[in-house]
Amino acid sequence: MSTGISRDDRAAARVGRGGRGDSYASDPARPLASAAGPWWRWLFLVPGLAAVGWGVLGLLGASDDVPLSGWFPWFIGSALLHDVVIAPLVIAGGAVLTRVLPRPARPPIAIGLVVSGVLTVVALPFALDPGDVQEAGFLPQDYSRNLLLIVAGVMAVATVWAVVRTRRAHRE
């Protein structure tokens, strides 16, 4: 009898290793039941949903201060930008790096790319247009150059880390 849910043979191979399988792999015969466990997933899900609910209540409660007609297209646009542009680029980049880099070098480079991405997201509004700010505490600087220098430094550290890990792995 078919349940309409396909069996994941890769997960089956990871679960069935003589009792020493991957405890995080799903049960291929019961994919929906395995998604509900382990119990500690709910420790993250419940507070996350509560935070989303609080945000929605705050947004709807501040409808006088926040024009929803301007907020909604921005929200949908950012979700589409992530799902249609950013996520596929990250997946493709990960696939390329997996084929190009040796196994010991992958974690340092991945960490360097994630840190660089977060720094770019935070600094990009300033780098694109710092604007004419008359605030005394705002120090106008060359944000684009500084962002490039910081990202170059992060990636240099990640590269040195990757080289060290690769050489150590080859010695062993």
The pLDDT value recorded for residue 111 is 94
pLDDT level of residue 113 (50, 70, 90 thresholds):
very high
Instruction: Round to whole Å and give the CA distance between 14 and 20.
Output: 9
* Position with higher pLDDT, 3 vs 60: 60
Q: What's the token pair of residue 92?
A: 């493709």
The pLDDT value recorded for residue 39 is 72
* Position with higher pLDDT, 25 vs 73: 73
Per residue in 73-104, pLDDT (tens digit) is 888 988 898 899 988 998 998 899 989 999 99
- Please give the average per-residue pLDDT across 39-44, as a whole number: 79
pLDDT level of residue 33 (50, 70, 90 thresholds):
low
Instruction: Round to whole Å and give the CA distance between 120 and 147.
Output: 7
DSSP state of 101: S
User: 4 with 32: CB under 8 angstroms?
Assistant: no
Domains of the chain by residue range: 36-66, 71-100, 102-172
The percentage of the chain sitting over the pLDDT mark of 70, rounded to a whole number, equals 72
Closest to 130 (Cα-Cα) out of 141, 118, 120: 141
Per residue in 125-171, pLDDT (tens digit) is 888 876 666 666 666 778 889 999 999 999 999 999 999 999 999 98
User: 59 with 71: CB under 8 angstroms?
Assistant: yes
pLDDT level of residue 45 (50, 70, 90 thresholds):
confident
